[in-house]
A = this chain, B = another copy of it.
């Protein structure tokens, strides 16, 4: 997931107050309080980690889905089938964030008993950042895994049109004094939002990100937005079929296995045409079933130290990083100094507040930002 730079004319919001405000807003559309708490928690976690494309900036779109009856804000997930290490859950077309939290907690509880466990969810919706669920397991000393399918934006290798989602893979691991190692990656080279940013900035884009409508490599964001994203690896000669294969496997482990929609059959996640009926998978592996957690984390600390100390290529903009390191650094700063959101984002929250009789979200101009 791309980490976005702070906007120059931003508004500063305190994470804990934004969370409370978001919870109140989500309750206003008919969401029970404890479900709204999950939604607020996951959305604000994205803002805190600097992944603003997946946070409270999406609230207007979520509210529209509820307004139009496409998502049921009061739905509670139900257990359809279970074995000691596997559960199938139906989200009832409710908030994906809540069903995801419930499903991950069930996987964590299962893994504590049996060593590893997975929960598979169908009939669900967009759940924010995949990494949040994996981190929930890692915070409890487990290795957490979170997968979701999504609407078709990626052309398979040799294909001309979008057939498959950017289907992310998230894995989180407790890493001792390094905190959590969190891989949270779309299986496309970049998400569509990154190309939209390039369009706003007037930038060209490199081969490997997208194809144009005629199938040639897109070299401008405008051409890319009329074509399709490429899977990780890009063209066939640079092994784009591996990214395509990963996206397909994620779809099989979620949509196909769960009995949800998959591939080209998924409607847009924020489309009001029909429910998304996504599939998701949540897994946990109990480290204590294999080694003591302390021993495991010592090993991983040492590995990360070796990587950080590795010789660098001359043009490297910084040291070798571990997955999730930039987001963790941003989160530490944002928890301390507040989250900086851009004006359009702030205005979208203010509009929602006015509509539902809530005060404006409690923000202040970015110190020095307007001076």
Contact = CB atoms under 8 A, between A and B. Distances in A.
Contacts of A169: 246
A290 B279 CA distance: 13
Interface residues of A, number: 92
Contact of A163 (B83, B158, B307): B307
Given A232-B242, A311-B159, A320-B156, A256 B300 contact: yes
Contact of A183 (B110, B234, B245, B256): B245
A319 B157 CA distance: 9
Interface string A291-302: 100011001100
A211 B313 CA distance: 9
Contacts of A296: 256-257
Interface stretch (A33-41, A43-51, A69-77, A281-289): A281-289
A81 interface: yes
Nearest to A257: B290
Interface of A: 81-86, 88, 110-111, 113-118, 120, 143, 155-161, 163, 169, 171, 173, 181, 183, 185, 189-190, 206-209, 211, 214-216, 232-234, 237-239, 241-243, 245-246, 248-249, 251-253, 256-259, 262-264, 283, 285-287, 289-291, 295-296, 299-300, 303, 306-307, 310-323
